[in-house]
Amino acid sequence: MANRNKYIGLENYDIPESERDYYVYFGVIDADGEEYGFYTNRALEGMFYWSDERGIYVQTEGTCQFDMGRTKTVGRNRLKAYMNYWKENR
């Protein structure tokens, strides 16, 4: 049986935008158990990270045009692409 990726956060597509947390975590765990993920806002736009130094979420530079799409399928594809990018560019 082939190992499959585990996707985190896709349940947020089932929650109305107004009822989501302001920052939503999305991630994917690969077959080796490594996790790749990021936060986005409740509209599922942009990428953010937590800054311990500043004590706030900060938007990742160059991600203002990023969005997770409007369906779980698109979201899953975005997460897979994100994981593959980081695997190739370590």
Taking the domains of the chain in order of start, what are their residue ranges? 6-88
The answer to whether 62 touches 44, Cβ cutoff 8 Å, is no
pLDDT at 3: 62
Which tokens hold the place of 58?
């900060």
pLDDT of 1 strictly over 90 = no
| Phi-psi map region of 45: left, alpha, beta (phi>0 left; psi -120 to 50 alpha) | beta
d(CA 41, CA 12): 11
The predicted model scores a pTM of: 0.89
pLDDT of 90 strictly over 90 = no
